[in-house]
Every structure is written in structure tokens, then in C-alpha cells.
Structure 1
Amino acid sequence: MRRFLDSAQGQWRVFAVFWLIIAVLAAVGAGEIARREARGEALRQAATATALHAAVLRSELERHRSLPMVLAQDPDLQGLLARPDAASVDRLNRKFEGLARETRAAVIYVLDARGVALAASNWNQPISFVGTDYRFRPYFYEALRDGQASFFALGTVSGRPGLYLSRRIAGADGRPLGVIVAKVEFDALETEWRASGEPTYVTDSDGVVLITTVSSWRFHTTGALRPDRRQRLAVDQTAGRADLSTLPFEALAPGMIRLSRSVPPDIYARASAPIPELGWRLHLLSPSGAMMARAIMAARVVALLSVALLAGLTGILLRRRQRARARAAEDEAARIDLERQVDARTAELRQANDQLNLEIEERRRLEKGRQDLQDELIQANKLATLGQIAAGVAHEINQPIAAIRTHADTASVYLDRQDADAAGRSLTRIGELTQRVGAITDELRAFSRKTRSGTVAVGVEAAIDGTLLLVGPRLRERGVELKRGKVPAELEVLAERNRLEQVVLNLLQNAVEALEDVPSPVIEIAVSVRAGKVTLKVSDNGPGVSPEVLERLFTPFTTDKRDGLGLGLVISRDIVAGFGGELVHVPSPEGAVFKIVLAKAP
């Protein structure tokens, strides 16, 4: 024995037997694992297909279940049951015929309280239900008793299986008048399921097959029935024309069966899903024998090839290891080179970022200078405007001051005469005039103040009042008629009070100067609100803006005044733009029209 093992031939035979045993064990083990995996995959596929079939069946049932409920409320139907006549029967026959065609129901018919069919959708066919007595059918007496019923059976006239959905029809006094019935046949659904090649059937709560892709299975059972139950089903459900024997199933592993007849012999994965609406259950048999055989064969071939190529795989693994080492060295060199490039690029980016930061800082400094310059320009425009209206404002102040002096002298005389009431009236008038002078000076002080703040809610009417308080004297001095439209109560815009007044004052000043040689000068101020925007319009009946100036109206130093600088409109437009609004010139056949458009304050 030792000499045999020491010889080369003996070693090869030992190796051959060893590897043969390993190959057999691998093939057997792989085949069993493949069998289990294939069985599990077949069961999963069957469950998926069952869920899809069940969804289709539920959809079909839901589409037809509402039909009897809707028809039970039909006034024509209730009228026929209450007072049957030939015209009502003919009208309902044609209505049922059209509904059956549209809803794909097999037949729709109505039974009176005795169970006799009065009208049916198949009234003009040889198998017409009209006049047939159905009082013995469960769907009739159960609907009368419970209000609705569903029942699957063979038709006594047509001999075709189908689901009967019925609902009680009650009169105005609640008394049952009859039953409306819709029969649904599932031939199209069975044909669709049959095309998938997977035997499918639906059973009721007793396990009786109702819908099936294998016609010979209909009204067979999935298990033994009690004698009394078998007799009732044979009479009510199959009209004595079906065999209630058990289906030819042979159980194998859990979820797997073999069929002994009726369909091609094979091993099937079995899955089911409930149809709770009717107490049914849908079953599907997915052919899996051939698939399992192929999976087992493939697994055994793979196992044998694996054993045969084990030695070769060792060499391949060694070769792959050498390649992995070479690739690792190349990767390391590439990583070092990449790091070098990243460092160089990072330095460039850092330098560019520093330069960009310097440019940003310079841009901020320039922007601040520009903003400061704009603020100074706006303030200069304010002071220039105040200079233009100073004479009128001074006159407006001098009048109440002179009146104050007169009333003071008068009050002194009244006091000497001991006329306290008259002196009190003079002093009251002095207070009112002093208050008016204070309002004018307060407005002057607020207008002349250098301000800059964020946009806030500003009352439109208050801003117009403040502007007119300053420019009003000049309007009266020039004899300009002011037409002021009504402003909506408590209307506010997003702006800044003093700068908004400055814009309106500039527009009014321009209008006053444009009306210098107009015989009947008129300025109109109008306010409108639309789509969250407030428009303040200032218009006059002057000569308007000349075409030469109109092209460059909002360009600095553009003006048609003899002593103007051409900055007022530019400054005003920038102020309004800072509020998020716009100042525009509106073409008009007469005079000049400017609009200030601002956002309405929330």
C-alpha cells in the first residue's frame, strides 16, 4: 500500500479520487442550495404576479359595485316599480341596454317585490330575462332582507357563470319595491390572465372555484365540503350542472404543488391574495419546475467548473497580486504627482484670492465714496430747493407772525377793558397761529436734515401734505391751481419720508417753473393703487418736455431751464430707485406727466 501511494500513478489516483469526491459533494450541495433559492424566487415571483392580478380584479369589481347603488336612486326605476306600464318598461329596457354596453356589464335587470324581472338590458335577445321569476335566487331575497347582496352562480337562462350584484329599491315610505341586479362576467379577465401562462383561479369562502383560467376547474373545490354545504352549493350556485370535487393538487415543499391533470404536468409555485370586498381569495400557480431544473443544473455545472479550475485560479490570483502591487506603486507615484500639482494650484488660487479680496475692498471703498457723494448731492439739492422756496416760506411765516402781534395788542386792549372773553379768543388765535408757524419750521428743519435710512412704511397723504406745506406759498404766489385727488385712507408705501418729499417737491418745482408763461396754470396730484403698487402722478398743463431734452431726460446736466443744472430729475430717480421703485415720464398730448411707482407697504 505504501509503495502504491509513493508511486506517481498512485498519487495521481489518490488526487483524482479526492477531487472526484470534492466535485460530487460540491455538485450535490450547490444543487440543493440552487433548489432552495429557485423555490424562493419562484414564490416571490408568484406573489408579485398574484398582487397584480388581485389589483386588476379589485378594479373590475369596484367599477361594477357602484352600478346597482346608483341605479337604485333612479326615479324612472322607482316609478316603474310603483306603477308598471309598457312605456316605462320600454324606456328602462333601452336605458339598461345602453348602460350595460357602456359599463361592460353582462346584463342589468330589475325585479319587482315578487322576484319577477320587469325590464332587462337583454330584452331584445333570445335569452331575455324579462318575465322570468328569480325569487329563489339568493341575491333577490338577501337584497330584500339586507339591502344589498352579491352572489356568484351559473345563469339559469344563459348558463354562463357570473357575479350578481343586487340592491334593494325602496319607495318614499321605505317599503321595498323591488331589487336592481347587475351581472358581471369575467370572460375578458380570464382571457387576459390565461395569456400570462400562469393558471389562476378565485375561490369563495367555502373554497369553491368561481373564476379560473382553466375551465374544467370551475365549481371544483380546494378542500372537502360538509354534505349540507355541498348540497346547497350544488343547487344555488351551480344549478346542478357542476362537479364539486376536489382539485387535483399534490402538495410538495411549502408553497409548491404538482398538478396531476387538467394542465401540462409541472411543479408550480402557489401564492394567494385576499379579496376582502366579497370574501374571495385569488390563487396563482406559477410554473417553476423547468426553472428550478435549469437553476440546479447551472449550479452543479458552476460547482464542477469551480473545482476543476481551482488550481488555475491560484495562478490567476498570484498574477493578480503582482499586478495589484505594480498598480499600487503607479498609484502612489500618481498620488505624489497629484499632490504636487494640487499644492501648486492651491498657491495660485490663494494668490488670486488675495488679489480678489484687495479688489473687493477697493470696490467697497469706491462704493462708499460714491454713496457719500450721492448723499451730499441729494443734500445740496435739498438746500437748493429750500433756497428757491425760501421767499415764499418766509412770507408764509411773516403773515402769522404779523397776525400774532396784532392779536397780542388786541388782547392787551381787552385786558385793559377787563373783557376776559375777548382776550381769551385773541390768545387762542395766537396759539393757533403759533402752532402753524411751528409746523412750517418743523417741516423746514426735517426737510433740510441730512437723512439716510432703510425703507419703512410712509403715509402717502402725510408726505404730500408736508411737501405742500413747503411749496404751497410759491403755488399761491404764482397763481397755480392745485388739483389734488383723493388718497385712499391710511395708504402707505415703502420709502423714507424726507427723501420722498424731496422727490415730490422737485417735481412740483419743475411744474411751477414750466407754467411760468401759461395763462391758467394747473398742477394735478393723483394717487392710485393696483396689484400691490402705488402710483403717485404729478402732471401740469404747461408746454411739456421738448423733444431734444426728452431723449436724454434722466441724463445728468440735461435741462431746458435757463439757470438749471439738470440734476433734479437724476437725483429724484436715484432716490426712488433706492426705495425699490421707479420714476418715469409718461408721454402726454398736453403738459408734462411724471409718475412715481412704489411698493405698497404691507
Structure 2
Amino acid sequence: MTPPLSLRSLDRPVARWTVFALVGLVLLTGSVSVAGRFAAERSTAELQRQSAAAAALHEAVMRSQLEKHRSLPFVLAEDPDVKALLRSGDPAQVSALNQKLESLSGQTRAAVIYVLDARGRTLAASNWRLPTSFVGSDYSFRPYFRNAMRGGTAEQFALGTVSQRPGLFLSRRVRQGDTDLGVVVVKLEFDALEAEWRASGEPAFVTDPHGVVLVTSVPAWRFRTLQPLPQADRTRLRQGLQFGRAPLEPLPFVRKGDELSIRAAPGTPEKRFVAAGVATSTPGWTLHLLTPADRALDNAVAAARSVALLATASLLLTAGALLYWRERAHARALRREADRVELEARVEARTRELRDANDRLVLEMEERRRAEAGLQTLQDELVQANKLATLGQIAAGVAHEINQPVAAIRAYADNAAVFLDRAQPGPARKNLTVIADLTQRIGLITDELRAFSRKTSRHAHPVAVEDALSGALLLVGARLRQQGVRLERTGPPAAGVQVVAERVRLEQVLVNLLQNALEALEGVADPRVRLSVEADDAQVRITVADNGPGLAPDAAAALFTPFNTTKAQGLGLGLVISRDIVTEFGGDLSAAPSADGGAAFLIVLKRAV
């Protein structure tokens, strides 16, 4: 910032700073004064808004309390017990109604509930047990009685003649047809409401159309007035006994614009308030709320003046320091430019490093994908090799299964030729039929061998459990019969049960487990293999168990470890491959001791929906 010409023209620094100090002092004084006035106006407006909102809230609470009790005289005016007492005046009914009104008063928190006959005499009251009982009292002089008998309903705020406690009297006429029987009166006192107002810390009070304070959080203000009343009005109000012997003196208020001051006692300082008034649901009543203003106004003015002082001082300090910072701005700009160039160089180097790291990562990912593809190929080849090894183990039995029907075919063909030479076509046709059946059996065996030996996909789909079991048993059936092993099928039938798998790979697992069982049963008396299928809504459990010697603890612990085997010619991969296949199907393969004393293998697969 360029200094003003008048300052530039001064020769001596002392003179320049003297002028600067005088200008600063004027600015400080003016800003503090203006800020104080502005803060006072803003604070007063905010207090007025808060006071109006609080007054509306107080009025809503009072209205809710009044409306709740206004319905009580209406209900009691239709009560059969009340009408019965007013019709008969029977003393025997008084006690019951007294107790009823007493209970109702406690439930509704009404001060007193009482019933007057047509002459204004109290027949029953909720305070019948108290020394200040209304029973027997004559209230015919009360406006709330006369107006209710005349107009049906009435309300009057007055000082109780017996209890000497102020309250609002709500009355309603009781009629039977066209006959006026009496009046039901509910007296409502505002002690709890006044206590709530008192606890808020903001004086609140309600005035009637004459300006007389009826309900107030300051007991000393009750039955005082907002403005001095004419002597005639004061005399009339005293004669009506509505306010007892209250002097009806004006409140100690002094209005100053939007503010209102109160002097509690001579010699004490005045307290400032912001007043708000709101009309209530009771005609002629006005609720007034006084919000304390001393602390708020003083704090607002002090805060505004402090802010103005700090702001102006900061402005002056800024003006004094601006020149110094301007001289150094160019040096800082040069340093920033050098820092920027260095930062760009660092960013470029770091970007280059990240680019190289990304290229290496892409290369590593590609190598890993190739390694995974190679591993998958090796796994598939290992599974295929296991299938071919299994075929080699069962080849002799399968060959026997094929040789038997081939020999039978030859015999039946020779017999058919003999029968044809004898001109006996019937027996010849039967032999040809048997030959066809044997041929079909050979075809089933070769089809199963061809399907079992070829490579299959890894895609799982619904597979019938019974079909997989039948295929596996077809491949190992010859060995079962050769060893004299008895096959037992337990549990419910597996027809219709499907699992999520691939048939040939599932058959490979079953053939491996059956082959292991048959090897374990060599030399066992009465060898047995038990197959069972159990299914629920989510899973299918296939069990292959034998009654062989079982699994030794050390062998069971490493059962599914690659290259771990107890066989002289085994590689220790059959169960590992089988478990991997079942795992790919989303299932599990586990081993446990069999109930027959041997080993049991459990295949758990997802049931196909």
C-alpha cells in the first residue's frame, strides 16, 4: 500500500508516526462508539425475538393446561351421579360423590371440584375431608355461578373465600331437560405453572382486561396492575371480592423505549428487561414475559467494542507492517519459484519411478497369470493321469467283464447256426436276442471306459448321484466280484438326488475311494463295502466305508498330504486329487473311522436345485 502523500511529505519519522497515531486514535474511538451502539440495537432486537418466542411457548403450555381442564366441567355436567344428587339432594349420595370427586381431582390435578345446587349451595366437593371444605358453603354471589346458571358456562379468576388461594374457576350448568339443576365447578390453581416459569429465570405474568396480574412467577406482583387504576374501578373490584383486600397498586416498572426497568427496592440498582406480550386463549388475558437484558446487552456491547478495537488495531498494525512485507514479498516470490521448480523436478522423478514400478507390476502379473495357467494345465494333466492309472488298475477286471459276454456270444451264435440247420427258427431267434443283449452290455462297458478316460471340463452342473454311482460301480464291479466283496447300499434311495458337480470327475473320486477300499480289504474275511447317500435341502453326503483294518493315527494325520502313501506301488496322489476335485465342486472330502471297524470317507456336496 502506498502511504498517503501527506505522510510521504513529512521529513522526520517522529512527525509521521505522530500523525499516524492521531489518525489511529480517532479511528479507534469512532469504531468503538459505533460498534457499541450497533451491538446494543442488534442485541435488543434479538432479545425481543427470543422473548416473543419464549412468551409464545409459555402461552402454549398454559393453553394446554387450561384446555385439558375445560373439558372436565362439561363431562361432569352429564355425569349420572351428579344429576342424581342434584335432583334428589339425598345425603346418602353425597359421600359417594365426594369420594368420586376427590379421586377425579387427584387424577386431573384440579385444585377443587365441587357441585352447587340451583341456589348456589355446595352439595359435594373433592376437599370434603379438609378443614377448608367447600361443602355447605354458599357461592350464589360468585359471578361464575350466576353466569353459568344464566348462560350455561362461565370462567372467573378470583381469590378463594375459604382457602384464600387464587385460581381460575371453570363452571358449567347441569340440566335435566328444561330444568336447571345446578352448577359443576372446577377450580384450577397455577402453582406448578408458576414454579416452572420461576425456574426459567425470566419473570412471567398474566393480566386480565383491567391489567391486573392474575398468574405470576413473582408472588409479590399478584393482584398488582400494569397501570394505575381509576379509584372507581378499584372500589368496584374490591367490592366484588374477586381479589380480596389486594391494594391493586401499579407494578414497579419504568419503560425506556424498547426496554423496561424494575427497581426491586429503594436504593437498589435498576434491572433492565425486554418485554413481550401475547394474547392467550382466555378472552381478555395477556401473557407477559420479561427477558433480562443487563448481562446480554453489556456482553454484546463489550464484545462489539472489543472486536471493533481489535479490528481497528489490526488494521492499523497491518497498515504499518504492509510496507515491510511489500519489500520482502519479492524475495518470497523468488523463493517460491525456486521451490516450484524443485518440486516439479521431484514430481517428475517420482512419476518416472511409479511408471517403472507399474511396468514391473504389469510384467509380474502377466508372468503370474502364465504360471497359474501352467499350473492349471498341470493339475488337469495330473487328474487325467490319475484317471488313466485307475483305468490301468481296473483294466484286467474290465477285460474279464468283456470276455465273458464275448464267449457267450460265440456259444449262442454257434447254437443259432445249429438251430437254423435244423429248421428251428424259434430257438435260433431266442439265441440271437441273447446275443443282442450281451452286445448291449459290452457297449455300456466300453462307453463308460471311453467317457471315463477322456478329458472333461471344470464346469460344474447338476449331476444325478445315482448315475455317478452306477458308472463307478460298473468300472470296479469286476474287481468286487473277483475279491468276493459284498456291496451294501444303506440309507434312503438316491434316485432323483442331484448335486453340483461334473459326472466323470465325480465318478473318478468314487472309483478312487472304491479302489482304496478294495485294496484295504485284501485278505479280510467277509469283506464288505458300504455305500450310503443322505440328502437335505442344502447338502448331499455320500459315504464309502469298508470293514478293513482302518487307518493308523499317523497315516490318518497325513492322509491328504501329497506323496504320502502306505502302498508299495502308490504315489500318494489319489486322495489329494480326489479332495481337490471335490473342493472345486464347492464341497469337502474327509475321512473317519468306520462303524464296521475300517475306514469311512465322506463326500459332502451342494445339492442342486
Give the structure 1 partner of residue 339 of structure 2.
334
Give the structure 1 partner of residue 5 of structure 2.
none
Give the structure 1 partner of residue 591 of structure 2.
585
Q: Is the alpha carbon distance of 1:317 and 1:206 closer, same or farther for their aligned partners in structure 2, counting shifts above 3 Å?
A: farther
The structure 2 residue matched to 1:506, chosen from 508, 512, 521, is 512
**Residues 513-538 of structure 1: CA distance to partner in whole angstroms, max 9, x if unpaired?**
222314141313232448x5544333
Give the structure 1 partner of residue 198 of structure 2.
194
Q: Please identify, of 211-220 and 556-565, the stretch whose mean Cα deviation from structure 2 is larger.
A: 211-220
Give the structure 1 partner of residue 390 of structure 2.
385
Q: Aligned runs of 1:390-429 on 2, under 5 Å?
A: 390-393=395-398
| 5+ residue gaps, structure 2 | 1-9, 85-91, 149-154, 172-184, 228-237
Distance 2:226 2:465 in 1: 86
Query: Which residue identity does 2:533 align to in structure 1?
Result: A
Give the structure 2 partner of residue 174 of structure 1.
none
**Residues 513-572 of structure 1: CA distance to partner in whole angstroms, max 9, x if unpaired?**
222314141313232448x55443333222211223122111112222343221111111
Query: Which residue identity does 1:380 align to in structure 2?
Result: A
Query: Which residue identity does 1:375 align to in structure 2?
Result: D
Give the structure 2 partner of residue 356 of structure 1.
361
Task: Indicate whether 1:214 and 2:215 are aligned.
Answer: no
**Structure 1 residue 379: deviation in Å?**
1.0
**Structure 1 residue 366: deviation in Å?**
2.0
**Structure 1 residue 374: deviation in Å?**
0.9
Q: Is the alpha carbon distance of 1:383 and 1:207 closer, same or farther for their aligned partners in structure 2, counting shifts above 3 Å?
A: farther
**Residues 333-381 of structure 1: CA distance to partner in whole angstroms, max 9, x if unpaired?**
3333333333333333333333333333222222222211111111111
Give the structure 2 partner of residue 522 of structure 1.
529
The structure 2 residue matched to 1:258, chosen from 243, 257, 260, is 260
Distance 1:437 1:85 in 2: 111
**Structure 1 residue 42: deviation in Å?**
3.5
Q: What is the RMSD of the two structures over their aligned residues, measured on CA atoms?
A: 6.8
Distance 1:368 1:132 in 2: 108
Q: Aligned runs of 1:151-550 on 2, under 5 Å?
A: 190-191=194-195, 193-200=197-204, 213-215=217-219, 257-258=259-260, 266-269=271-274, 285-300=290-305, 303=308, 312-393=317-398, 441-477=446-482, 478-486=484-492, 492-516=498-522, 517-529=524-536, 532-550=538-556
Distance 2:493 2:511 in 1: 18
Q: Is the alpha carbon distance of 1:322 and 1:479 closer, same or farther for their aligned partners in structure 2, counting shifts above 3 Å?
A: same
Distance 1:41 1:406 in 2: 119
Q: Aligned runs of 1:143-154 on 2, under 5 Å?
A: none
Q: 8 Å contact 1:259–1:266 — kept in the other structure?
A: yes
Query: Which residue identity does 1:258 align to in structure 2?
Result: L
Query: Which residue identity does 1:510 align to in structure 2?
Result: N
Q: Is the alpha carbon distance of 1:185 and 1:327 closer, same or farther for their aligned partners in structure 2, counting shifts above 3 Å?
A: farther
Q: 8 Å contact 1:511–1:540 — kept in the other structure?
A: yes
Distance 1:359 1:259 in 2: 86
Q: Aligned runs of 1:90-169 on 2, under 5 Å?
A: 106=109
Distance 2:209 2:473 in 1: 92
Q: Is the alpha carbon distance of 1:31 and 1:526 closer, same or farther for their aligned partners in structure 2, counting shifts above 3 Å?
A: same
Distance 2:161 2:337 in 1: 87
Distance 2:467 2:214 in 1: 85
Distance 1:156 1:425 in 2: 132
Q: 8 Å contact 1:96–1:108 — kept in the other structure?
A: no
Question: In terms of Rg, which structure is larger?
Answer: 2
Task: Indicate whether 1:596 and 2:596 are aligned.
Answer: no
**Residues 565-596 of structure 1: CA distance to partner in whole angstroms, max 9, x if unpaired?**
21111111222222333322235562212223
| Number of aligned positions between the proteins | 545
Distance 2:116 2:438 in 1: 99
Q: Aligned runs of 1:23-34 on 2, under 5 Å?
A: 26-34=31-39
Query: Which residue identity does 1:498 align to in structure 2?
Result: V
Distance 1:41 1:436 in 2: 103
**Structure 1 residue 301: deviation in Å?**
6.1
Matched position secondary structure for 1:564: coil
Q: 8 Å contact 1:216–1:262 — kept in the other structure?
A: no
Q: Is the alpha carbon distance of 1:595 and 1:31 closer, same or farther for their aligned partners in structure 2, counting shifts above 3 Å?
A: same
| 5+ residue gaps, structure 1 | 1-5, 143-149, 167-180, 224-233
Q: Is the alpha carbon distance of 1:489 and 1:199 closer, same or farther for their aligned partners in structure 2, counting shifts above 3 Å?
A: farther
Distance 1:281 1:495 in 2: 86
Query: Which residue identity does 1:338 align to in structure 2?
Result: L
Q: Is the alpha carbon distance of 1:281 and 1:547 closer, same or farther for their aligned partners in structure 2, counting shifts above 3 Å?
A: farther
Q: Is the alpha carbon distance of 1:336 and 1:19 closer, same or farther for their aligned partners in structure 2, counting shifts above 3 Å?
A: closer
Matched position secondary structure for 2:324: helix
**Structure 2 length normalisation: TM-score?**
0.63
**Residues 158-181 of structure 1: CA distance to partner in whole angstroms, max 9, x if unpaired?**
776789999xxxxxxxxxxxxxx9
**Structure 1 residue 390: deviation in Å?**
4.0
Q: 8 Å contact 2:94–2:123 — kept in the other structure?
A: no
Identity %: 48
Query: Which residue identity does 1:560 align to in structure 2?
Result: T
Query: Which residue identity does 1:214 align to in structure 2?
Result: V
Distance 2:443 2:226 in 1: 105
Distance 1:468 1:163 in 2: 101
Give the structure 1 partner of residue 176 of structure 2.
none
**Structure 1 length normalisation: TM-score?**
0.63
